[in-house]
Structure 1
Amino acid sequence: MNRLQQLFQEKKNILSIYYTAGYPNLGDTLAIAEELEKSGANLLEIGFPYSDPVADGPIIQASSKQALDNGMDLKLLFQQLKDLRKTVSIPVLLMGYVNPVLQFGVENFCKACAEVGVDGCIVPDLPMVEYERLYQPVFAKYGLSNIFLITPQTAADRIQKIDSLSNGFIYLLSSSATTGQNLQVSNHTEAYFSRIADLKLKNPTMIGFGISSKETFDKACEYANGAIIGSAFVKALDTSNLKGSIETFMQNFKQD
């Protein structure tokens, strides 16, 4: 059993934090991971920046641009993470778009993930059919989980297919909007979450997009195994007091 599977077996109300590698400063990537674990995060999603995002809202877009301007790329990210498992024990995912992965080489990417102790990846624009046909054996070879996303519009047969291809968790987008919108749990949203629950998927689920407060985190946990916070955390990072800003932000999400 890998770190990701063990986490979901042992814990409920899982708090996952997304942040952008190389932001706010180029050398902050590992330090942020260490502080997040100390402050109570259960799972980390480290974003590798890309110049042409699809799902990111303005806050994460701005952090990606700054990270790229700072000089971040995948080669440097893996160099920064080479000592990851000396100080960080919680599961870590890399999240980004498929173009940088293809440029780096899919097998090279998966091999590098395994070498530094990354547990899986979220690549929103990697087509499911291409993953199954071309890349699933490579991910399996290096022990990586590929995390798929579903939206309120995803058909039940596709969700079942995603469930069959997954071995970590399934990422439920709270809406079809970009990141950074506030979670609004309407009757429509509740029906969507209930529809997913009725499918009795074999994989756990995490809700993302719009989780920005303890209230929205707790609400999401009513419907899933946990929730993912991205834009709100990235916005809260203070380059002049990185450690303090992380501690202050995470204090708001302390479990009761």
Structure 2
Amino acid sequence: MNRLNHLFATKKDNLLSIYYTAGYPALNTTVDIAEALEKAGADFLEIGFPYSDPVADGPTIQNSSQQALDNGMTLNVLFEQLKDLRKRVTIPILLMGYVNPIVQYGVERFCKKAAEVGVDGIIVPDLPMYEYESMYAKYFIDNNLSNIFLVTPQTTPERITKIDELSNSFIYLLSSSSITGGSLNVSDSIEAYYVRVKAMGLKNPTIIGFGISDSATFTKACQYANGAIVGSKFVKLLETENYLEQIPAFINSIRR
């Protein structure tokens, strides 16, 4: 049982995850931000590793990714930064990014390094399910890493069932098929999608992402899933001065 499994076994509702980009706003801030978020009450974290063509990300996260690259962030640098992660942070940590840099690094090597530094799961939005299953699943399983699959409003029930079979921690429900940084607008069709997924009785918990930015959208998402992910709104906070000092108030504003 990794930290993600333990979290979902002990807390079923209103789980809050925060996304931010490694190496942003400054190269060496990655673990400091993680520690501050845990102390402020985040349940788990998603640390993005930057890529030059982040197709699923809106302008806020795209800009943070480019700045992180300009700062010198690479996978080698990130793993070096995370080697002391577990001396300071105890909550589950996921790495999130695109398949190209992972393949360039070497998938088996990537999974081994992630496990060595205490990472619990990986989110790779552009990794095809068949490719994961046929080529890479063994590396994830051997290193006790959860692979997190994404579901959109257009995902068929058959595919969702297959994702549930392949998953061992949670399923990431996108609030829309658009890019990150939008607003959670629960239309009748989106609500029907959430209700449909919830009614499937999946064995894995579900977490909603894209468009979660405040208490109202977090609360709304938690009506349909086990929790939600805040990304762009938090990355914007990192643009301000004294952002570490503002993190407790930010988390409180989401949970209130």
Amino acid at match of 1:5: N
Amino acid at match of 1:188: S
Do the aligned partners of 2:102 and 2:110 also contact (CA within 8 Å) in 1?
A: yes
Do the aligned partners of 1:205 and 1:225 also contact (CA within 8 Å) in 2?
A: yes
CA displacement at 1:238 relative to structure 2: 4.0
Amino acid at match of 1:75: N
SS in 1 for 2:208: strand
CA displacement at 1:239 relative to structure 2: 5.1
Which aligned segments of 4 or more residues in structure 1 are displaced greater than 6 angstroms? none
SS in 2 for 1:182: coil
Amino acid at match of 1:172: L
Q: How does 1:222-241 map to 2 (within 5 A)?
A: 222-238=223-239, 240-241=241-242
Aligned length, in residue pairs: 255
Do the aligned partners of 2:213 and 2:254 also contact (CA within 8 Å) in 1?
A: no
Q: Distance in 2 between matches of 1:152 and 1:192?
A: 6
CA displacement at 1:245 relative to structure 2: 2.5
Unaligned runs of 5+ in 2: none
Do the aligned partners of 1:207 and 1:228 also contact (CA within 8 Å) in 2?
A: yes
SS in 2 for 1:227: strand
SS in 1 for 2:254: coil
User: Does residue 60 of structure 2 align to residue 47 of structure 1?
Assistant: no
CA displacement at 1:242 relative to structure 2: 2.6
Aligned to 2:215: 214
Aligned to 2:117: 116
SS in 1 for 2:51: coil
User: TM-score, normalising length from structure 1?
Assistant: 0.98
User: Does residue 155 of structure 2 align to residue 154 of structure 1?
Assistant: yes
Aligned to 1:243: 244
CA displacement at 1:247 relative to structure 2: 2.3
SS in 2 for 1:253: helix
Amino acid at match of 1:51: S
Amino acid at match of 1:3: R
Decide which moves more: 233-242 or 147-156: 233-242
Do the aligned partners of 2:237 and 2:243 also contact (CA within 8 Å) in 1?
A: no
Aligned to 2:9: 9
Identity of aligned residues (%): 66
Q: How does 1:1-256 map to 2 (within 5 A)?
A: 1-11=1-11, 12-238=13-239, 240-254=241-255
Q: Distance in 2 between matches of 1:238 and 1:228?
A: 19
Unaligned runs of 5+ in 1: none
1:200-233 Cα distance to aligned partner (Å, 9 max, x none): 1110000000000011001000000000000000
1:28-75 Cα distance to aligned partner (Å, 9 max, x none): 000000000000100100000000111100000000000000000100
Amino acid at match of 1:175: S
Q: Distance in 2 between matches of 1:202 and 1:224?
A: 13
SS in 2 for 1:224: coil
Q: Distance in 2 between matches of 1:152 and 1:64?
A: 26
